[in-house]
Amino acid sequence: MKRLIAFATALLLAAPTLAHEIIAGDLQIIHPHIPQPAATAKTAGGYMAIVNTGSEADRLIGVDSAIAAKSEVHESKVDANGVGTMTHIEALEIPAGGTVNLERGGYHVMFMGLTGPLIEGEMHKATLIFEKAGPVEIEFQVDPAMGMAEMDHSTMDHGTAND
Ligand SMILES: [Cu+2]
């Protein structure tokens, strides 16, 4: 437990804005956040760390939120030719005693078909659905926008490729 607290503290110190976390049974959801997308963006990425302090693995099998028509777990990859792709992950394993980071360039929640603008500082409710832990209510904090070079999501055409 001490190690976990140290980890959470390190994350708090590293985060540019106030971090928050949700504890649900053996799962700890650390600072779910969405970098503020462009006002006209149709998609946005959601990031967090998921810690499993239990002795059994769990799996993230769905995400639900009113901020988008559809929310999915995706994995970003860059192939040998430097071409970025994203795939829909049906079930993201959270190993026993392990941590999975949803971060830029890797796993992330993809909000597709945003229902309105997302403004820095706002908190938006969402539900993470785990195979064992069941639905876990969280809130995504809208963090400062990413730099231009990092805005891969707004330039990619989502919502048609992997459905
Ligand atoms: Cu994506």
Q: Give the residue extent of every domain in the chain.
A: 2-144
Q: Ligand 1 centre and the CA of 3: distance in Å?
A: 31
Distance 74 CA to ligand 1 centre (A): 5
Give residue 163's pLDDT.
Answer: 38
Cα 60 to averaged position of ligand 1 atoms, centre (Å): 16
Residue with tokens 């990031």, as numbered in its chain: 47
Residue 2 CA, ligand 1 centroid: distance in Å = 34
For 162, residues 6+ apart whose C-beta sits below 8 A from its C-beta are: 86, 87, 88
Domain 2-144 has CATH 2.60.40.1890: yes
**Beta partners for 143?**
35
Q: Where are the alpha helices (DSSP H) in the chain?
A: 2-14, 152-155
* 51 CA distance to ligand 1 middle (Å): 21
pLDDT at position 140 is 97
Mean pLDDT, each 10-residue run in order, the chain (163 residues):
55 60 95 96 97 98 98 94 93 98 96 97 97 97 77 49 39
Residue 144, pLDDT score: 94
pLDDT of residue 7: 56
Q: Which residues contact 46 (CB under 8 A, 6 or more apart)?
A: 32, 33, 34, 63, 71, 102, 108, 109, 110, 111, 126, 140
Amino acid 160: pLDDT: 42
Q: Which bin fits 155, alpha (ψ -120 to 50), beta or left (φ > 0)?
A: alpha
Q: What pTM does this model have?
A: 0.79
Distance from Cα 10 to the centre of ligand 1, integer Å: 27
CA 115 / ligand 1 centre spacing (Å): 17
Residue 32 tokens read as 């779910």
- 86 Cα–ligand 1 center, Å: 5
Neighbours of 48 (CB within 10 A): 23
Sign of CA dihedral 143, 148, 149, 154: positive
Å from CA of 1 to ligand 1 middle: 32
Instruction: Return the pLDDT at 146.
Output: 80
CA of 154 to the centre of ligand 1 (A): 10
* Cα 143 to ligand 1 centre (Å): 18
User: Which pLDDT score is estimated for 152?
Assistant: 53
